Amino acid sequence: MADILKGGPCAKALTEELIGRTVTLKQKDVTPCLALLRIGERGDDIAYENAAVKRCEKIGISVKKFLLRSDVSREEVLSAVRAINMDADIHGCLMFRPFPDKAVEEAASRLLLPEKDVDCMTSGSLASVFSGSGVGYPPCTAEAVVRLLHYYDIPISGRRVTVAGRSLVIGKPVSMLLLRENATVTVCHSRTEDLAGECRRADIVVAAIGKAKLLTKEFFAKGQVVVDVGINVDAAGNMCGDCDFEAAEPVVAAITPVPGGVGSVTTAVLCEHVVRAAEKA
Ligand code: NAP
């Protein structure tokens, strides 16, 4: 039986730390504030927004919402970003991606002030993930993976890690963060010839593909730690990860559940970035 690496306890510990830091900020008349910019009514955006707002309320972070219609013009989106930039009370901004229009998304990320970019949208923050310069913040989910491993005292240095997925939001940044922790990282993608073999050879598997239960029994080996980032819906309509949990759990040493794993830590990391931005301001 594998250890189940639940996200809840890790998120709770971070939330408690953030409550203390927010009290200290409020004593200096600073209330950390997060701006949420959402275009349209996508269910997954609204679910993430609700979870983020709930976590912010618990910590004492205020939230300003910028909710735009799905047929919003480029100018209206950019004017919302300008308003966020100019509002000195706003310390961080989360924009729900992808935008309906990729060109508008790129323009918005160029416009957003780097110091308010708490989810690694600007090229400056992204460059920092690769250079380790410490400017900006890594994508919240990528950082949540590393925080979860730290919380459960799972050694990273010197371990072989296979990251399945190479997106700019998760796969690539989490690979860089783990490399910074001295892991030996293999990054896989849709053209990888033997994904199952690459996963089996790893001490730690990070699955960030976005395909329900793609990683079946032959992807796993005894003693491994599996971090499942995927959020999918299975054939029965239930939320599930990229790993076939029932097949993996009897084999591996430890595995994150979906739901209740990495996703629960992501909103706490977002709040940590907002509090840090407020401390810097
Ligand atoms: P994405 O942009 O679609 O990227 C998917 C990656 O998986 C790509 O690099 C793709 O390879 C690779 N891939 C696709 N099919 C594959 C296959 N059969 N074998 C090997 N690699 C394959 O997705 P994403 O934004 O990174 O998200 C990944 C998952 O994480 C999704 O389920 C998403 O919902 C979830 N997610 C979770 C959280 C959280 O807080 N837990 C937050 C955000 C996203 P190519 O590059 O070759 O196309």
Q: For the packed helices 43-59 and 262-280, what is the interaxial angle rounded to 10 degrees?
A: 60
- CA-based nearest residue to 171, from 159, 156, 188: 188
- Closest ligand 1 atom to 230 CA: 32
- Closest ligand 1 atom to 214 CA: 18
The verdict on the CB of residue 90 being under 6 Å from ligand 1 is no
Please tell me the distance between residue 94's alpha carbon and the centre of ligand 1 in angstroms.
20
pLDDT at position 156: 98
Whether the predicted model's global pTM rises above the 0.85 cut? yes
pLDDT at position 133: 87
- CA-based nearest residue to 122, from 106, 134, 133: 106
Please tell me the distance between residue 85's alpha carbon and the centre of ligand 1 in angstroms.
30
The verdict on the CB of residue 189 being under 6 Å from ligand 1 is yes
pLDDT exceeds cutoff 90 at 1: no
Give the amino acid at 278.
A
Mean pLDDT computed over every residue of the chain: 97
Query: In this structure, are residues 278 and 32 in contact, taking their beta carbons and an 8 Å threshold?
Result: yes
Q: Average pLDDT for residues 124-131, to the nearest whole number?
A: 92
| Residue bearing the CA closest to ligand 1, atom 41 | 263
Question: How far apart are alpha carbons 247 and 258 in whole angstroms?
Answer: 14
- Whether residue 98 is preceded by a cis peptide bond, meaning omega within 30 degrees of 0, is yes
Please tell me the distance between residue 109's alpha carbon and the centre of ligand 1 in angstroms.
21
pLDDT exceeds cutoff 90 at 80: yes
pLDDT band at residue 134, thresholds of 50, 70 and 90?
Answer: confident
pLDDT exceeds cutoff 90 at 135: no
